[in-house]
Amino acid sequence: MLPVVDKPLIQYAVEEAVAAGVTELIFVTGRGKRAIEDHFDKSYEIERELQARGKAALLETVQGIKPAHVECIFVRQPEPLGLGHAVLCAQKIIGDEPFAVLLADDLIDADTPVLAQMLERFDHYHCSLVAVEDIERKHSRSYGVVTGRPWDEHVFRMSRIVEKPEPDDAPSTLGVVGRYVLMPGIFDHLRALRPAPREEWQLSDAIQSMLAAEQVLAYRYTGCRFDCGSKLGYLQATVDYALRHPELRDAFGAWLRERAAPVANLAAVDADDAGTAATASIAQTAVVE
């Protein structure tokens, strides 16, 4: 389980879901992911020990991993056959209800957690919603890409979704990020997918098929996303969250300034040739990267 500063990535996704009012969490896990179950299990021994030693703050952290009113259910995906297949693995537990999908690799920092933003729209529109953001066309191979008609503030009525198109074939530059609210009708479209043996079952393909039967909206969320599935995104998330962590920000910030100074100075020297206006932005970029 990959941590960002002091919590595993999956914990951030759980906290986002719980903050949006979700009380039943289904984890679709696979080979080598038993640690997730252990992480969300009640730690009687640790809790007793912390209580005995009077470590109230730590005890609160441990007890907050899974709030008492939240139920966790674990389902195993027998083979890594893609996101669509993973969602299908949870069908029996979900039943005939709308549900949310969160991909923990997409860590999104937002004043109002993104799932809460989406559920607010869901309460209004009562249809499936997919979170999107503006991407660079050259990165289209990493995303589901959607097109649609502007419908409301930040909301598009989706007309097409394509999974990981080549830049030249991408129908737009609106990329899907790992947050979905889906009507249960999606299961019919998932079951009808016929990928070649061992190929992935794409959730995007099922959504494209569902578009013929029911409305799906794309929602341009407000927040800052880190793609922790990539090395760069993971590093950026770690630095960003560390710089906002109350116990770490001062010491880490001081270390980072010192560590990044040679890089920033180099960038400033380069930028001097190009003029002063560019210096500030290039130096800032160099520190972040």
**Binding positions for ligand G1P, rule: CB under 6 A:** 83, 103, 106, 143-144, 163, 175-178, 203-204, 229
Least Cα distance to 241 among 4, 3, 2 occurs for: 4
Whichever of 130 and 267 has its CB closer to ligand G1P, that residue is 130
- Name the closest residue to ligand G1P (Cβ): 144
Do 217 and 122 contact (CB within 8 A), yes or no?
no
Whichever of 40 and 143 has its CB closer to ligand G1P, that residue is 143
Whichever of 14 and 103 has its CB closer to ligand G1P, that residue is 103
Direct distance between the N- and C-terminal alpha carbons of the chain, in angstroms, rounded to an integer: 24
Whichever of 209 and 279 has its CB closer to ligand G1P, that residue is 209
Whichever of 226 and 286 has its CB closer to ligand G1P, that residue is 226
Instruction: Work out how close the CB of 185 gets to ligand G1P at its nearest, in angstroms, rounded to a whole number.
Output: 19
Instruction: Work out how close the CB of 55 gets to ligand G1P at its nearest, in angstroms, rounded to a whole number.
Output: 37
Instruction: Work out how close the CB of 163 gets to ligand G1P at its nearest, in angstroms, rounded to a whole number.
Output: 5
In this structure, what token pair is assigned to residue 226?
A: 């880190």
Instruction: Work out how close the CB of 143 gets to ligand G1P at its nearest, in angstroms, rounded to a whole number.
Output: 4
Within a 10 A sphere around the Cβ of 227, how many other Cβ atoms? 19
Instruction: Work out how close the CB of 104 gets to ligand G1P at its nearest, in angstroms, rounded to a whole number.
Output: 10
Residue for token pair 């020990």: 49
Q: Strand locations in the chain, DSSP E?
A: 3-4, 7-8, 24-29, 71-76, 99-102, 106-109, 128-134, 144-152, 155-163, 174-182, 216-220, 224-227
Tell me, rounded to whole angstroms, the distance of Cα 68 from its chain centroid.
24
